[in-house]
Amino acid sequence: MKVMVVWKGLVVGAYQQKLQELARQKDVEVVGVAPPSWDEPGSPVQFEGLYLDGYQMVVSRIAFNGHFHVFFFPDLGRLLDEHKPDLLHVEEEPYNLASFLAIREARHRAIPSVFFTWQNLDRRYPPPFSWMERYVYRWASAAIAGTDAAARVLRAKGYHGSPAVIPQIGIDPELLHPVERDGTGLERPLNIGFVGRLVPQKGVRLLIEACASLGAPFRLAIVGGGPSRPELELQARLAGIASKTEFAGSVPSARVPEMLTQLDVLVLPSISLPNWTEQFGRALVEAMACGVAVIGSTCGEIPDVIGDAGLIFPEGDANALRSQLERVATDRLLRQDLARRGRERVLARFTNQRIATETAAVYRAVVER
């Protein structure tokens, strides 16, 4: 069974591991289609060819690069004719132009198709996006939802199938693993980190506010780029913690494990907006795999991702976040327990191997049907 996987996210080297694991399935041959770059505002990403063993990766030009709703792959029809897959997997939201055009190209060639969704809010889109969404619902052979909430939204919006619930991306536990650290962390500053886009909804402003009143010694590392960086740097200076705060900028995905293992705790303080809530929080899973304690807000899917393997605080509450940071800073046994439980949770639920096995089962069911 030959499967073509189309996804802008394949520019990121770490995400390519999923395709390697899919290709290890005994009956699955994989062709990936990635753009040469993704021009995310404030933090563009060039294609990182890191995990390319066992399958074929095609880097194909992209139109309207960086425009989430209207980008597409102009050469996809030619690629379908050239590779003749048994199945097309579009790892994009159903209301995007890229998904509509890809599934239309597949339908014209009688190739079954699968789409993916993270959307966990019941948002209704105006035409033409609503038309494209209905087309994808009608003609796709199957759907994969990243969370139970996303599956509920799919059904509420009129999708009549039974979506599989599988996270889009996982981790490699051999690459992301705990390392020995010097000392317990109680005799040195607490190393606090954030990894992600610097945009208002990620709540980094709240993290800086909480750290500014933290009673314990700390160092704060903010990893990622985005339009909020200048105002966050200003906030750190005004709060008097600029000397304790490092803005590392965007880093290649291959460097993320090294940076995570230097942390004592990773924080994801996301804040809901009327049109957005946290859909997963990959940095949480990566940190837990590395034996790093995690703290997350109650925004979106964060509590379900963390489970009982981390600490939660009410979103938007800087004082509650500060209290959780102080617990981690002063309780060595708590930190060790969170590290153990986090690693166990990731191995049970969020490895690329498990995700690939479950995804391949969807492929088999579609092709056999």
Mean pLDDT of 32-53: 92
Type of residue found at 263: L
Asked if 252 and 263 touch (Cβ cutoff 8 Å), the reply is no
Return d(Cα 274, Cα 30) in angstroms, integer: 38
Asked if 44 and 196 touch (Cβ cutoff 8 Å), the reply is no
Sign of CA dihedral 253, 259, 264, 269: negative
Asked if 25 and 360 touch (Cβ cutoff 8 Å), the reply is yes
Type of residue found at 128: P
Cα-to-chain-centroid distance, residue 204: 17
Mean pLDDT of 313-341: 97
Phi-psi region of 257 (alpha: psi -120 to 50; beta: other; left: phi over 0): alpha
Phi-psi region of 42 (alpha: psi -120 to 50; beta: other; left: phi over 0): left
Q: What is the largest CA-CA distance in the chain?
A: 65
How open is the CA angle 352-357-360, to the nearest 5 degrees?
115
Cα-to-chain-centroid distance, residue 198: 15
The model's pTM:
0.87
How open is the CA angle 147-151-155, to the nearest 5 degrees?
170
The pLDDT score that the predictor gives to residue 334 is: 96
Return d(Cα 218, Cα 213) in angstroms, integer: 11
Mean pLDDT of 259-281: 95
The pLDDT score that the predictor gives to residue 288 is: 97
Domains of the chain: 2-170+352-368 (3.40.50.2000), 190-349 (3.40.50.2000)
- Give the pLDDT confidence of 232-259 residue by residue, as tens digits: 999 999 999 999 999 999 888 888 889 9
The pair of structure tokens assigned to 130 is: 């609503």
The pLDDT score that the predictor gives to residue 184 is: 52
Average pLDDT value for the chain: 95
Closest CA to 258 of 225, 228, 221: 221
The pair of structure tokens assigned to 165 is: 């619930």
Asked if 2 and 85 touch (Cβ cutoff 8 Å), the reply is yes
The CB density around residue 45, as the number of other CB atoms within 10 Å, is 19
The pLDDT score that the predictor gives to residue 324 is: 98
Return d(Cα 176, Cα 198) in angstroms, integer: 23
Per-residue DSSP letter, 325: H
Give the strand pairing for 2-6 and 87-90: parallel
Return d(Cα 160, Cα 266) in angstroms, integer: 39
Sign of CA dihedral 103, 106, 107, 110: negative
Return d(Cα 168, Cα 183) in angstroms, integer: 36
Q: Which residues pair with 33 in a beta bridge?
A: 6, 58
Asked if 346 and 306 touch (Cβ cutoff 8 Å), the reply is no
> What confidence tier does 262 reach under pLDDT thresholds 50, 70, 90?
very high
Residue 98: pLDDT above 90? yes
The pLDDT score that the predictor gives to residue 254 is: 82
Q: How many residues does the chain have?
A: 369
- Give the pLDDT confidence of 179-233 residue by residue, as tens digits: 876 555 566 899 999 999 999 999 999 999 999 999 999 999 999 999 999 999 9
Return d(Cα 139, Cα 346) in angstroms, integer: 34
Closest CA to 43 of 225, 315, 298: 225
- Give the pLDDT confidence of 114-171 residue by residue, as tens digits: 999 999 999 999 999 999 999 999 999 999 999 999 999 999 999 999 999 999 999 9
